[in-house]
Amino acid sequence: MLTLDALKLTPQNIIPFLEDIFERFGEEENLGESVTMAQHMLQGATLAEQEGQDDEIIVATLLHDIGHFTSNLGCFTLEDSMDRGHEEAGAQTIERIFPSIVSDCIRYHVAAKRYLCATSPVYFEYLSEASKHSLKLQGGEMSKTEVTEFEKKTNLDSIITVRYFDDLGKSPDMLTPPLGHFFPTVKRVIKEY
C-alpha cells in the first residue's frame, strides 16, 4: 500500500498519480461489491456528470474511495471485523490540492451513510450488502445528537449528494468513459492548477 508520506501529491503530479493508482489497484479490489473499485468510482462520477452536477461533486465522487488505496490499513473486505477509516485517509491524501468541498465530501461519505440511515426510513434497504456490512463496523446509524451535529456541516448538501452517487455506482452492467475523460474536470477543480 502507498503511504501518505510517499505520495507528496502536488497539483502537477495528481493526474499521473490517479492514472497509476487506478491502473494498479482499480481492477483488483472490489469491496465485496459486484463492480471493481475503478468501475465503482467511474460509474458514480459518470452519473454525476450526466445529471449536470458541479465539477466539485463529479471529482469528489470520482475520488471518494481513494483512501482504500492510500491507507496503510488496506482495503475493506466482507470478512472485516473493524473499520479501516478509508474516508479519512482519502480526504488527507487530496485535501492540500482540492478545495474543502471536495475533501469534505470524501471525509464524510461514510458519516453520510450513517446519517441517511438515521433520517430516511427506506435508505438502509437500498444499500448494497457490502455497504450494510460496513455500516455495522462504522458505528451503525447516527444517534440524534450525531444527526444534529452532522446537519451543521458547511457542505452538507454536497456531502449527501456524493453519498447518493456512491450508492448508485455499483452496477455490473454500466459502461463508463475511461478515467482520462474526467481529467479536464479534475484540473478545473484543483487549487492553483
> CB–CB of 83/134 below 8 Å?
yes
- Nearest residue (CB) to Fe ion, 56 versus 166: 166
Give the count of residues interacting with Fe ion (CB under 5 A): 2
Taking CA 42 as the corner, what is the angle to CA 114 and CA 118, rounded to the nearest 5 degrees? Answer: 10
The verdict on 166 binding Fe ion (CB under 5 A) reads yes
* 44 neighbors 95 (Cβ within 8 angstroms): no
Identify which range of 2-10, 115-123, 160-168, 175-183 contacts Fe ion by CB under 5 A: 160-168
Which of these ranges, 15-23, 63-71, 98-106, 146-154, lies near Fe ion under the rule CB under 5 A?
Answer: 63-71
The stretch among 54-62, 118-126, 136-144, 166-174 that binds Fe ion (CB under 5 A) is: 166-174
Query: Do 70 and 24 form a contact (C-beta atoms < 8 A)?
Result: no
Q: Does 33 bind Fe ion (CB under 5 A)?
A: no
Q: Which of 65, 101, 133, 161 binds Fe ion (CB under 5 A)?
A: 65
Q: What is the DSSP string of 56-68?
A: HHHHHHHHTTTHH
Separation of alpha carbons 101 and 95, rounded Å = 9
Chain residues binding Fe ion by CB under 5 A are: 65, 166
